[in-house]
Amino acid sequence: MEKKFQYRDIDLFLQHPYWVLLVLALGFLIMDPFEMSPVGGLDFRPVRNDVAPFDQVMKNWPGDNRSRLGQGNLEFVDEIFGPESLEFDALGRGPYAGLADGRVVRWMGKDEGWETFALVTRNWSEKVCARGKDSTTSKQWKVEPDCGRPLGLRFDKETGNLYIADAYYGLLVVGPEGGIATPLSTHVDGKPILFANDLDIHKNGSIFFTDTSKKYDRVRHFFILLEGESTGRLLRYDPPTKTTHVVLEGLAFPNGVQLSKDHTFLLYTETTNCRLMKFWIEGPKSGTTELVSNLPGFPDNVRINENGEFWVAIDCCRTKIQEIMIRNPWMRNMYFRLPIPMRYLAKMVGMRMYTVISLFNEEGEIVDVLEDKQGKVMKLVSEVRETNGKLWIGTVAHNHIATISYP
């Protein structure tokens, strides 16, 4: 049942003078006859989405009053472009990273630097795709579907094969020597997979991976958040039969996926409604999902450490206005039809984002939280990998990798 609105929400809405002006302006603009608004030409249909109450989540979030991430380092600045996912092979070489220009690259040490390790399509060309720093900007958007965008990386430690979730080319695999990756799963139920995002490998060889939306691709991912649509899925690819199966559907921006140490369950993030979820694979609750934690911001990938604990990368924070908007689709429907560039509209409802990374144990309790409140070092995190006393922190939108010693 869809709740239309609450008076309390309206009150809060009107406390902000610019909102009143906007609401007045809406009278003429709602129709957006010239398709000038950010959503002009799109089939933009906001739906209600349940997100935990803002005040409650923020009150209970432990935070990091020492802002420890502010003491991290930025490495490989402007040498590496939007490294969303980071991985190390069985020999400990790496990091390997999936870049905004479509390549999977690997660090070969100071002398050799970064080398191209794998490509997700034969069509990749240096001329079209390798745009350096521009590849993390909107200049890449037009070519991104041709060049690829590897978002999730995992080595099979036994075979040395690297599995890749690519936003345009689905699930692929490449051998230990690299090269052009082979597609494994590009369709499910006869329809193309629009937005593969992350994966993990089950001990029996099956691969769990997320498909973020049936409606919007990666370039348009912002509209998934705005619309609140929940057509995302958790999929499973079974190598023996070469078939892909829908494990969960109706998810709101499913993003990172990580199996537990004993593979009895997996965790996945739902970015739109700011939460970390658990899916049981074995045991009495097998096949069911449950909430692990509501988060203060928008989560991306989840990665396990040696103790079987889970690092979650979070772009912080949610805002009160965002909560009101996500609960009231009609507001978003009007607001985002204003003929004002999206970046201004988004700025008014959002806030300056900063980085939070959080460590959860198997019971879903928070073990540690590190933040960079001033945004000194880290911006927009996508993944945290813990190896040998160090955290490696990826980002989808910036040109560096952040590191910090840990614990």
Pairing of strands 162-166, 73-75: unpaired
In this complex, which beta carbon is closest to ligand NAG, that of residue 51 or of residue 129?
A: 129
In this complex, which beta carbon is closest to ligand NAG, that of residue 71 or of residue 123?
A: 123
For residue 153, the minimal CB distance to ligand NAG (Å) is 20
For residue 295, the minimal CB distance to ligand NAG (Å) is 20
In this complex, which beta carbon is closest to ligand NAG, that of residue 68 or of residue 220?
A: 68
The CA distance from 14 to 173, in Å, is 52
Max intra-chain CA distance, the chain: 64
For residue 62, the minimal CB distance to ligand NAG (Å) is 8
The token pair at 376 is 């000194």
For residue 207, the minimal CB distance to ligand NAG (Å) is 9
Q: Where are the beta strands (DSSP E) in 124-242?
A: 150-155, 162-166, 170-174, 179-180, 182-185, 187-188, 191-192, 196-201, 207-211, 232-238
> Helix, strand or coil for residue 223?
helix
Neighbouring-strand partners of residue 182: 173
In this complex, which beta carbon is closest to ligand NAG, that of residue 32 or of residue 200?
A: 200
Residue 31 CB neighbours (<10 A): 8
In this complex, which beta carbon is closest to ligand NAG, that of residue 186 or of residue 319?
A: 186
The token pair at 356 is 């939070």
For residue 240, the minimal CB distance to ligand NAG (Å) is 5
Give the interface with ligand NAG as residue ranges (CB under 6 A): 65, 121-123, 202, 204-206, 236, 238, 240, 281
The token pair at 403 is 């590191």
The token pair at 192 is 């193309």
For residue 112, the minimal CB distance to ligand NAG (Å) is 29
Asked whether the beta carbons of 244 and 261 are under 8 A apart, the reply is: no
In this complex, which beta carbon is closest to ligand NAG, that of residue 121 or of residue 355?
A: 121
The CA distance from 21 to 31, in Å, is 17
